[in-house]
């Protein structure tokens, strides 16, 4: 960590950043909970919805999201 930055400050910076990225919280077991507002955008544009994601589902969710984005890109190519 940079000199002068406390652990508490670093945690707060990271928590603020994750909220900006659409993550409400991350549980101690690694389960990620996504903000409803941000997920609504993904649902509307890509047809993708994931309110919570346990670590065990990360790879499958990434593949699903990639496929949804590829489908979206094909529909909107000029």
Please, which pLDDT band fits residue 9 given cuts at 50, 70 and 90?
very high
Please, which pLDDT band fits residue 2 given cuts at 50, 70 and 90?
confident
Handedness of CA 50, 52, 57, 62 (dihedral sign): positive
Handedness of CA 13, 44, 65, 72 (dihedral sign): negative
| Whether residue 1 has pLDDT greater than 90 | no
Q: At what angle do helices 58-75 and 36-46 cross, to 10 degrees?
A: 50
- Distance, in Å, from the CA atom of 12 to the CA atom of 72, rounded to the nearest integer, reads 35
- Distance, in Å, from the CA atom of 42 to the CA atom of 38, rounded to the nearest integer, reads 7
Which residues touch 37 (CB under 8 Å, ≥6 apart)?
A: 22
Please, which pLDDT band fits residue 67 given cuts at 50, 70 and 90?
very high
pLDDT tens per residue, range 36-66:
999 999 999 999 999 999 999 999 999 999 9
């Amino acid at each position: 960590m940079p000199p002068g930055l406390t652990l508490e400050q670093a945690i707060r910076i990271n928590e603020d950043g994750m909220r900006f990225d659409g993550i409400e919280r991350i549980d101690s077991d690694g389960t990620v909970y996504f903000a409803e507002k941000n997920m609504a955008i993904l649902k509307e544009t890509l047809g993708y919805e994931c309110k919570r994601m346990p670590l065990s589902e990360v790879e499958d969710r990434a593949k699903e999201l990639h496929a949804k984005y590829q489908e979206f890109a094909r529909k909107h190519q000029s």
